[in-house]
A = this chain, B = another copy of it.
Amino acid sequence: MIVAISQLNLKIADFEANTQKIIDQIELVKAQGGNLAIFPELVVGGLAALDFWKFSAFLQSVDTAVQEIISHCSIDCILGVPYLDTQTGSLFNAALFIQNREIKSIAKKSLLRNGGEMPEAAYFAAGLGAEMIDSHGFNILLSVGEDYTTFEEQDTDLIISLNSVPFSYLEHDRKLKALREYAKKSRSALIEVNQVGAHGSLIFDGRSIIIDEERSFQDELNAFSEDLRLYQLVGSEIKPLQQKQKEISYSEPALIYQGLVLGIRDYFVKNGFKKALVGFSGGLDSALVGALACEALGAENVKGILMPSMYSTDHSLKDAIDLATNLGCEYEIVPIKEGFDVFVKMLEPVFKGTAEDVTEQNIQARVRAVILMAISNKQGYIVLNTSNKSEAAMGYGTLYGDLIGSLSVLGDVYKTQVVEIAKYINREREIIPVNTIVKPPSAELVPGQKDSDSLPIYDVLDPILFQLIEKGLSGQQVINLGFDETEVKRIEQIMSKVGFKLFQTPPALRVSPRAFGSGFQLPLVARFTSS
């Protein structure tokens, strides 16, 4: 029989458009001779719909959509849905098996994810797990998430798992390794269907996986875009109907680059926004955000604002203009000295001749924020935030200053990764001015300032942050791994005070296993002990 995997990009709660898209896919599968069409987890209503799942109006719309889709199921279909048991009132994360326009089986997810980006257990009841189904004489184990791993071995031709795991640059390799091991152990062929698309912070990268370990066959659907692909099932052997795509190797910067482009594009498209505004400082972070925005939205929809201060170096302005020229996007120059001076004057009676300190640096950053937001308000642009994860962890940035924006593009990307992605973008021609990449990072808020005056250099900082955040180790454990004790303690000390800033920064596109925000939550008020 012929099995079709439909890897769709849908908008949460947009029932009308989503239902039509699913029905169109079913018709397409029929036209290509498919016998079974498989759709992703929670394809109806959307993944991470959160409190929508508590609204009866939402669940009624799910029901209407499912009935509408079922009426088109003249072939077998597998559909991820939030399934309400009307007798008990329990809601399940379920996969429907539809045959002859009827629901034949319901696999209700048992191993629910808790907390983090996908707080399933807060919304769904735990079901009984995977179910055996029969499609065209084949014994198929139907599972949501990893329920199949706890199913008693039976005579199974194929395991189908609807499993949407948020993208991180480490996730696909981890998942593939685990699936191959399971396939080897269980001697079953395996199809894992993923989502594609971004919903605010959460990105899904597609790359649905097909494994037939017995015959060393392995395939995957498109990365970062929709896909529909058909396979022939003969016994427990899976054969592709199309030519197997050539092996693609994804480096870490290439993966993050594509994830961020998809994240920006879906944030704009799904919100009905069009144009992005970026403050171009001449530095690397804003240059990368500008390049990513141009790729995602088209250079004609991106505008850079250059806001030199009395402390900006000449090369900063030149680098920023070079960038806009290379990208082909519009830019405007609004110097900030006048704005800065007037605040100093207005505040003179209050400050009464006190010495300059960080206050004056923050005023510069906040004057820039007022300018960006004014242009955003007046001309309908959405401001993209340009600060990175290394800065976020160190609280290096001005709240209501450079930390503004609707979406943080690099908030989950370390500075050392920013450099690698910039080099990746420049792999064929210079898009980001080389001078921007090689010069020492500086906020340019006082003459001659460098990031390394107040932070460890990024080559030292980032690997330690990775151990503390992504690996979740304590400071002592990181020191035990051989990292420098003084630096680790200094970093822990600085990190212990950033909760207040992190709470108010824009949502960041998540590309690591542990982003600030939902992936890493510390209490706002606590004593942070280092031991």
A contact set with B: CB distance below 8 Å: 11-15, 46, 48-52, 54-58, 60-61, 114-116, 119, 121-123, 198-201, 266-267, 270-271, 332, 334-336, 338-339, 342-343, 345-347, 349-351, 354, 357-359, 362-363, 366-367, 369-371, 373-375, 377-378, 399-400, 404, 406, 472, 474-477, 500, 503-507, 520-531
Q: Is the CB of B378 within 8 A of A526?
A: no
CA distance in complex: A476, B55 (Å): 11
The residue of chain B having its C-beta at the shortest distance from the C-beta of A363 within the complex is B374
Most chain-B Cβ atoms within 10 A of its Cβ — which of A267, A270, A358, A378? Answer: A378
B526 pairs with A52, CB closer than 8 A:
yes
| Copy count, this protein chain | 2
CB-CB under 8 A from A520, the residues of chain B are 51
Closest to A115 in B: B122
Q: A11-B525, A46-B523, A366-B369 given; name 9 further pairs at CB < 8 Å.
A: A11-B527, A12-B526, A50-B521, A57-B476, A57-B529, A115-B122, A198-B525, A201-B524, A338-B342
State the Cβ distance, A281 to closest chain B Cβ, in Å.
Answer: 17
> Within 8 Å CB of A336, what residues of B?
346
What are the residues of chain B within 8 A of A474 when measuring CB–CB? 55-58
A-B residue pairs in contact (CB < 8 Å), sample of 25: A13-B527, A14-B526, A48-B523, A50-B522, A51-B522, A52-B526, A57-B474, A58-B529, A60-B531, A114-B114, A114-B119, A115-B121, A119-B119, A121-B121, A200-B523, A200-B524, A334-B350, A339-B339, A347-B371, A347-B378, A359-B374, A359-B378, A362-B377, A366-B373, A373-B399
Residue among A54, A201, A503 facing the most chain B CB atoms (10 A cut-off): A503
Instruction: Give the residues in chain B near A347, CB-CB below 8 Å.
Output: 334, 371, 374-375, 378
Which of A199, A475, A527 has most chain B Cβ within 10 Å?
A527
Q: Chain B's nearest CB lies how many Å from the CB of A531?
A: 5
The 8 closest A-B pairs by CB, nearest first: A115-B122, A200-B524, A12-B526, A14-B527, A57-B474, A359-B377, A114-B122, A359-B378
Which chain B residue shows the least CB distance to A119?
A: B115
Point out the residues of chain B lying under 8 angstroms from A406, CB to CB: 500
Q: Are A358 and B377 in contact (CB under 8 A)?
A: yes
Bound together, the chains give a CA A381 to CA B229 distance in angstroms of 60
Q: Which residues does chain B contribute within 8 Å of A11, judged by CB atoms?
A: 525-527
A377 vs B445: C-alpha distance when bound (angstroms): 15
Cross-chain contact B369 with A346 (CB below 8 angstroms): no
